[in-house]
Every structure is written in C-alpha cells, then in structure tokens.
Structure 1
Amino acid sequence: MKERILEFLNSQNKTSSQFAEEIGVKPSSISHIISGRNKPSLDFVIKMLTRYPFISYEWLLFGRGNMFNQPAEPSLFNSSDYDDKSDSSGKEVTMVQTGNRVSPDNDSSPAVEQNDESSFRSATSSKSGLKRIIWFYEDGSFSEFFPRSSL
C-alpha cells in the first residue's frame, strides 16, 4: 500500500508534509509509512479516502483497477428521471402497461389506437403543428421523423 500512497503523492505533486496536513495526521506518521516502519492504519486510510473521495478504495487497498474513480457517465435514460410519478399539475399518475402502449390509469382523454390513421391525422392537425417525432430504442439509439407540413 505504501507504493500506492507514494504513487498518489507523485500524481498530485504533493510532499508528505502537505499530504499529512491535508488529511489531518502528523508528518512523522507519513514518514513511517513511506519508510516501511509502520503500515497504514484503518484511521489513516479512512482519513485519506475522506479527504480524497476521487481515489478508488479498491486501488488503494488492493491495487486493483484505476487510481481514480471513474466518473459516472450520465445515461440518456436515467431511471431516476422516471421514478417521479406526478405530472405537472402535481396530482399522482400511475402508468399502466396495456398492449404496446403505456397510458395513465386516470384516462381523461381517449387513447389513440396505433392503426387508426384518422385519429393520427386529427391528432397531428393541431394549430401548433407537429414538428418532429423521436423514437427511442432499447439499445439507447434513436431516430427522428420530420413530417411533411401538409398532412
């Protein structure tokens, strides 16, 4: 573990005394760890990981993986975006799976059947006009459809 501590100090361009001050230990304890006289205590490791949360604990303790935690890449379809079950009016809405479509169970408007072209045309002939349709696929890809203005 001392080699990994030294590697971290070198990567951050820190002296052992700067490091000791930042994690709240005596400089002599860092010196003893680096010289091999003492092994890092649990308290030392906790202080180091608390002060530098971007260090991978698995790398520090076991030497596995990268030195730094990989930042979590935000997903286009983050599941936490869909956990909120209230609509913009603030009332609760429960989604119910029916066939190939999902509709709210407090259905205040008639559902549009997938194969009903007249319903589709009436739905798309609103005053504001339809600009584009985006299909999102399970593999994370998507495709766009830009309808002609004369429907």
Structure 2
Amino acid sequence: MINTTDFSKRLKKIIDYYGLSASAFADKLSVQRSSISHIISGRNKPSLEFVMKILTAFPEVELYWLLNGKGSFPKIIQEKIESTSPPISTSKIEKQVTQQSLPLEEKVVSTIQSNGKTIDKIVIFYTDGTFDAYQK
C-alpha cells in the first residue's frame, strides 16, 4: 500500500525538480488542477492512471521510487549504466542473437520444452511505462 503522505512529498519533489507550478504540472499530465491539490493534501490517493501519466511525461522518474521511495530520482541515465557494466561474453551475445532471430512462438515453445513448465501469463512492459498482459 502506498503511503500517501510520502507519495505527496515525492510528488512535490518532482514538481520542484522541473520548476513547475502545481497547475503547470497538472496541465503537463492532462489532469484537472484540483487532482494535484487533492493528492498533495492527502485527500485523494493517486490512481494507477495518474502514476502512469507521471512516468510517461517525466522519464527521469522511476516507478519504484515514486511509489515506495526506494531507488533514485532523477533516474540514472541508461548510457551511464551500460558504460559501467562488465562486458558480456561472446557466447552470451551469440545466444541472444540466435534467440532474437527466432519467431516469438518458437521462443515460447523452446522455453516451455526446456524447463517442463507451463506458461500461465505473459506480461510485456514497454519503455513508455505501459504494459500488456496475456493470460491463458
């Protein structure tokens, strides 16, 4: 469960970081200005749609940090992570290339056959913060 007091503090931090007023922040998210006021005051809890709008409009905001206060804000830029991560071995790269060249159905079938498990649900997360869920 989200602690609304802490969430509102993090929301204020985002607004201050971008140098926006509460009304400009609401306009950027395409929400009513009163929504921002009500969430900051603790009157209302943020909806999933509201959280997703923040993540879409402000890519430097990490979901886990926004909801739980753990992680970092602003988000560490991906290039920095890639430059500090250890190099991948050639066999891993070859395996990834082979796996990427297979159609999705073949990947799923080979995964199911290799571990003897049955897939119940598949969730695909997109870089814009949205997702699709597929269930049997």
Name the residue aligned to 1:39: 45
Is 1:64 the counterpart of 2:88 in the alignment?
Answer: no
Call closer, same or farther: CA 1:71–1:43 in 2, change over 3 Å.
same
Between the aligned partners of 2:26 and 2:56, the Cα distance in structure 1 is 13
Greater relative contact order structure (CA < 8 Å, 6+ sep): 2
> Relative to total residues, which structure has the larger helix share, 1 or 2?
2
> Aligned to 2:10, which of 1, 4, 8?
4
Q: Counterparts of 1:18-57 in structure 2 under 5 Å?
A: 18-57=24-63
User: What runs of 5+ residues in structure 1 fail to find an aligned partner?
Assistant: 86-151
Between the aligned partners of 1:52 and 1:80, the Cα distance in structure 2 is 34
Question: In angstroms, what is the RMSD of aligned CA positions?
Answer: 2.4
1:56 alignment partner AA? E
1:19 alignment partner AA? F
Name the residue aligned to 2:111: none
Between the aligned partners of 1:42 and 1:29, the Cα distance in structure 2 is 13
Q: CA deviation at 1:16?
A: 0.7
How many residues are aligned here? 85
TM-score scaled by structure 2? 0.54
Is 1:75 the counterpart of 2:83 in the alignment?
Answer: yes
| 4+ aligned runs moved over 2 Å, structure 1 | 72-85
Q: CA deviation at 1:78?
A: 5.2
Between the aligned partners of 1:71 and 1:48, the Cα distance in structure 2 is 18
> Percent sequence identity over matched residues?
39
Between the aligned partners of 1:68 and 1:5, the Cα distance in structure 2 is 12
Q: CA deviation at 1:67?
A: 1.2
Between the aligned partners of 1:50 and 1:67, the Cα distance in structure 2 is 15
Q: CA deviation at 1:46?
A: 0.6
Call closer, same or farther: CA 1:78–1:23 in 2, change over 3 Å.
farther
Q: CA deviation at 1:75?
A: 3.5
TM-score scaled by structure 1? 0.49
Structure of higher CA gyration radius: 1
CA deviations over 1:84-138 (Å, ceiling 9, x no partner): 97xxxxxxxxxxxxxxxxxxxxxxxxxxxxxxxxxxxxxxxxxxxxxxxxxxxxx
